Chain A
Amino acid sequence: MPKLYINNLSVEVERGTTVLEAARFLGFPVPTLCHNDGLTPYGACRLCVVEVQNARGSRLLSACTLPAEDGLVVFTHSERVERARKLLLEMYVATCPQSKTIQDLASRYGIRQVRLAPAWADCIQCGLCVRMCEQQMMAGAIGFAYRGPKRRVARPFDKTSERCRQCGACLYICPVCELRCHGRQAETTLCSGCLNFAPACLDFHDHAMCYLDPCLACELAGPHRQDLLLPSGIGWASSGKEKGELP
């Protein structure tokens, strides 16, 4: 069993454990945005970076993808790590200023000021929805398309795939896009807005988007609701108004 040192505490873990799991086991709160225990590690949000020391110096590595190896010396909250997380969170807030998850994290890290202009994006490309769909829902109905600044979550050819069962797991796991399910009874239904003929997402939020086409709630409301529903593309979907006026 590999024995490693996290913040000067030694811990023995089973082979195959990641440093993130080991750190959390010891009670160190390492923040993440792209990690979920039921999904494969992805290493994209970079918030879980930890400082790893070796003979030649130290470097920052993502804890969620780092296998716990014998003799590893890790610091989860060193000055360097904290500075990196703060700057990352500043960039996250600027990217998705409206996300409560990100706001909460930023506030926990004492960020009072964001020097970058807000981008009002509704996706940070953490890839949770893509992995959820593939690994837990066994559907693989969504994935990433394009590269660099154009990269986005997409359905094949931007059409709903036959493999999509509209289970809503992608919505459930998304850490950022709270806007999407702002229905009046959000606690009880996925998007109750459509049920009472008042789709909140359409009326009140310009940047609303919906992975469900048609939305499960809307489908329940009857076939005549389908036409007004919702952006057919995923990603930077426009408000549904482009597709059709409300009756």
Chain B
Amino acid sequence: MSERGRLRTAKDLDWLAAEGLRTLYPAQPKVLVGAASCGRAAGAVDVLKAAREEVARLGLAWRVAETGCIGWCSEEPLLDLWLPGHGRVSYGRVKPADARRIVRAAASGKPDLRQALAWMAGDENPCTAAHTPYTQGSNGWFAGLPEYAELPMFARQARIVLRNSGIIDPTSLEEYAARGGYRALLRALTELQPEDVLREVTRSGLRGRGGAGFPTGEKWRRVREAAGKTKYVICNADEGDPGAYMDRAVLEGDPHSVLEGMAIGAYGMGAREGVIYVRAEYPLAVERLRTAIEQAERAGLLGEDIFGSGFSFRVRIVRGAGAFVCGEETALIASVEGHVGEPRPRPPYPAQQGLWGQPTCINNVETWANVPVILLRGGAWYARIGTERSKGTKVFSLVGNVRNTGLIEVPMGITLGEIVEQIGGGGREGHTIKAVQIGGPSGGCIPAEQFHLPVDYESLVQAGSIMGSGGLVVLDTGNCMVDVARYFLEFLEEESCGKCFPCRVGTQRLREMLSRICAGQGTEADLALLEDLCWVVRETSLCGLGQTAPNPVLTTLRYFHHEYLAHVRERRCPAKVCRELITYFIEPTLCDGCHACVQVCATEAILGEKKAVHRIDNSKCIRCGACLEVCQPKAVQVI
């Protein structure tokens, strides 16, 4: 922490940044472990501990630090080695023993490159437009390794929101400052009028990253112009889409960027108080935020009279209680006020009457994290990235049946095909990618024939989906689209608050009908009724949850009608997923009688002696698929 106490001037910030540079790019080697929630789930805490112990045991003066998620989630836990003058090298799937070995080898002078994935020759900083080279010229040490910029997964990315994630230690205010942090706030408070801030954000064309894409500058202006003595800014960190974790990564990897964005917004809108509404299922994000708020307050970057400008701003954290619907802004406000998290109809919008009835600006984590860069580089610079109506970048969590899964940030306008094929590296063996599910439960499935579509708000809505907060699930021929729709409706039925009738009853009825179709009990009349129900739920539901709930059904009905027809006409599941519609059997010519399937079968449905051909008793078989997985000669088959 700053020994100078509160920062007052640009010089103080320079000093803080200089402190940060010393640990960010130290003269000694440094070990970095990606210890966000994703890394921890893979075992990063043990790796970190092992690295610390080994460094201590060898008596080295190296720094061993945590860092955020760099996005390469399929290779976690990741351990990075900073070797001054040579660059930074990333190791994947590191176990504690590997960590010790890597540290030992590096201490002996030459790094061990087993398990090394790639090396980094430098980093870009969108805040300052600076490129920091880690090494002079080519590097003999990492000759056989790809450089990060050469990897297809990273080459197509543009990292603005994730600028510091995986680079800095998220618990270090100094390192954030060293990457140009709090410069934007300093600039706003000392050089700009609130109107200038609004103008800059409007010019950037930034739109809400929570999913709906409302122009941020316009929202800010409405809050600024709304009548009301007290105004609030809120950061919506109630990220709940299944398989989406963009906001978590930002909060865990770079919490100060969100605080800085909020402070700038508050200055622009004339607010003095901010709330970060973060879901309680993100304990690490909450911890990181607490640390960051404490540090910022001690350094005078939050609190009274920031940078001597007279502007004061405080932030507090409110934790959600596990309701998906609280990501809807009016439900979020109700929850912050201590009421049941149920939405209320808009208008009036929160910009007119929000928290405690006062004008309130709610933006998502990713939106806030964009703000400091916009202020430093200018709205015009930001507006050069992206398409005509969708500016900047978007973070996606790329998951599903694709080779490289992880967190990616891409410029708007990139096509879905480029994301799936180049960044994602294509599908798994034996299957063809047929769709992406984009935008979480509110989004829809976009078929492979539409992969030429650019990622922008309008194109995705036209295709029947929404941009959403950034979930991107790749589906292939092994996924049944009816089953996918049923899964999302099951989620929504459970998460609907139940206040308004069409959403509560509609999602329930839709889920029931989809379950029936999956069980082979649907009729063609059901498909017509399905469309009618979808229409009325979308048109009449009270909040965004209900209004978008039919999207998974509508898009699959539109693009994968043949799969629905196969279910209702032929009682057949083309992807061989719906249990009621498939039969397992053993191909006698392939079975070698190894008995493996007999051993895993939980219902004793497989008959046959060892070394003899087995067969499946279908009256006992529950179609769990356990035998399919263990059968080496691929004799177990599904029809």
Contacts and interface: CB of A to CB of B under 8 A. Distances in A.
B61 to A, nearest CB: 54
Nearest to B512: A117
B498 A65 contact: no
A84 B540 contact: yes
B59 interface: no
Given A84-B536, A95-B505, A62 B498 contact: no
A91 B509 contact: yes
A107 B36 CA distance: 59
Interface string A64-92: 01110000000000001001100110011
Interface stretch (B376-384, B473-481, B527-535): B527-535
Interface string B537-551: 001111000000000
A62 B345 contact: yes
A45 B535 contact: no
A149 B493 contact: yes
Contacts of B344: 43, 65
A151 B508 CA distance: 13
B345 A45 contact: no
A149 B495 CA distance: 9
B500 A88 contact: no
B17 to A, nearest CB: 46
A13 interface: no
B185 interface: no
A125 interface: yes
Given A91-B505, A91-B509, A115-B525, A44 B348 contact: no
A125 B340 CA distance: 15
A148 interface: yes
A246 interface: no
Which of B496, B508, B540 has its CB near the most chain A CB atoms (within 10 A)? B540
B540 A49 contact: yes
A105 B498 CA distance: 22
B502 interface: yes
A46 B501 contact: yes
Contacts of A66: 345, 347
Size range of the interface on B? 20 to 34
Contacts of B494: 148-149
A188 B444 CA distance: 56
B529 A148 contact: no
A147 interface: yes
A220 interface: no
B540 A46 contact: yes
B431 interface: no
B392 interface: no
B348 A67 contact: yes
Contacts of A164: none
B506 interface: yes
B497 A43 contact: no
A116 B493 contact: no
A46 B500 contact: yes
Nearest to B496: A148
A61 B494 CA distance: 24
A124 interface: yes
B536 A65 contact: no
Contact of B345 (A43, A147, A148, A150): A43
B323 interface: yes
A151 B325 CA distance: 14
Contacts of B391: none
Interface in B491-523: 493-502, 504-509
A91 B500 contact: no
A84 B502 CA distance: 10
B529 A115 contact: yes
Given A66-B345, A148-B497, A91 B504 contact: no
Interface string A122-141: 00110100000000000000
A216 interface: no
Contacts of A91: 501-502, 505-506, 509, 533, 536
A190 interface: no
Contacts of A127: 499
Nearest to B341: A147
Interface in A96-124: 115-116, 124
Contacts of B529: 115-116
A144 interface: yes
A60 interface: yes
6 contacts: A43-B344, A44-B499, A45-B501, A49-B540, A62-B542, A88-B536
Given A46-B501, A66-B347, 20 more contacts: A43-B542, A44-B500, A45-B500, A60-B539, A66-B345, A83-B535, A83-B536, A84-B536, A91-B533, A115-B525, A127-B499, A147-B323, A147-B325, A148-B493, A148-B495, A148-B504, A148-B507, A149-B493, A149-B508, A151-B504
Closest 9 CB pairs of A and B: A151-B498, A87-B536, A65-B345, A43-B345, A46-B540, A148-B496, A148-B498, A44-B500, A60-B539
Interface of B: 323, 325, 340, 344-345, 347-348, 493-502, 504-509, 525, 529, 532-533, 535-536, 539-542
